[in-house]
Amino acid sequence: MSTDLRIERAKKFGAWYVAEYRLRHMSKWISEILIVSFGNPIIYLLAIGIGVGSLVDANTGGAGINGVSYLTFLAPALLATAAIQAAMDETSFPTLEGFVWNKSFYGMNSTQLGSSQIVDGVMIAAFIRALITSAAYLVVLWAFGAVSLEAMPTLFLIASLAGLSFGALMLAATSYVKEDDGFFSIVARFIVAPMFLFSGTFYPLEQMPIFLQWIGWISPLWHSTNLSRAVSFGLEVPSWLLVLHVVFLTTAVGVGLLLAKMQFKARLLK
């Protein structure tokens, strides 16, 4: 293959080359990824969806929450959480690895690949991992009767978008990290944990104190969960709010990618 042709292919498919590299690296842990993808929903559904859910349903006279069983109410939130976690896993430590530990990003940037293509490739790989996790989670949710077969395709897309939105923001944040000094632990404890607890995951957001509801308003988890509940069991959501959910998630993707590309470019030029 001539040099000119290689350069042309790199310009066209550079992001996919990066994604392929990341996926090959990810394949080393495919067994663990699949075990977690299928194991987590089973554990959560048994412990919370069915265990706690049976108590909630009993104490509400069988009415559940929002007119459905607690398991059905909880399922969309667990699905979105899984997709977000999968994307976060792929855009946190592996990204720092590319800058600090094995410096693979610098090697890529020394070829015909540009920093923008590296960012896109990383996000493609993270998105694919979110797709795998979402698909596995949906299969388990369907097996437990928590979602209908008809709603699964749309729920799959929404959860994947949730993962993409948080992953893009996480990638942007990680691109500023110079070393592993506890940054990811801080993110897990002070961003991910509050987001999981206070984004309408276990009960409707409007039932929370008003001074905590803002956490849900700025959280990709709440926007994707509320959107998914409207699809899953017909939760009544105003049309304007449905549009806002989609706009928020897509905007988060755009902002995250823009910031990541700016910082990748600046960092790889040093």
| 253-270 pLDDT tens trace | 999 999 999 999 999 997
Predicted local distance difference test score (pLDDT) of residue 250: 98
**pLDDT of 11 over the 70 cut:** no
> Averaged over 22-32, what is the pLDDT?
87
- Tell me which range, 31-45, 62-76, 228-242, is most confidently predicted by mean pLDDT: 228-242
**pLDDT of 44 over the 90 cut:** no
Predicted local distance difference test score (pLDDT) of residue 8: 66
- By CB atoms closer than 10 A (0-12, 13-18, 19+), residue 211 is exposed
- Tell me which range, 31-35, 43-47, 134-138, is most confidently predicted by mean pLDDT: 134-138
> Averaged over 76-100, what is the pLDDT?
94
Question: pLDDT: is 44 or 210 the higher one?
Answer: 210
Residue 86 and residue 133 in contact, taking contact as beta carbons nearer than 8 Å = yes
pTM of the model: 0.91
Which residues make Cβ contacts (< 8 Å) with residue 59, sequence separation at least 6?
none
**pLDDT of 2 over the 80 cut:** no
Poorest-pLDDT segment among 34-38, 174-178, 214-218: 34-38
Predicted local distance difference test score (pLDDT) of residue 138: 94
**pLDDT of 7 over the 70 cut:** no
Predicted local distance difference test score (pLDDT) of residue 198: 93
User: Confidence band (pLDDT; 50, 70, 90) for 73?
Assistant: very high
Predicted local distance difference test score (pLDDT) of residue 270: 79
The number of beta carbons lying within 10 Å of the beta carbon of residue 174 is 23
Predicted local distance difference test score (pLDDT) of residue 39: 81
What's the half-sphere exposure (Cβ side, CA atoms, 13 Å) at 89?
16
Chain-wide mean pLDDT for the chain? 90
**pLDDT of 251 over the 80 cut:** yes
Instruction: Name 68's bridge partners.
Output: 65
CA separation, residue 190 to residues 40, 95, 215 (Å):
22, 20, 11
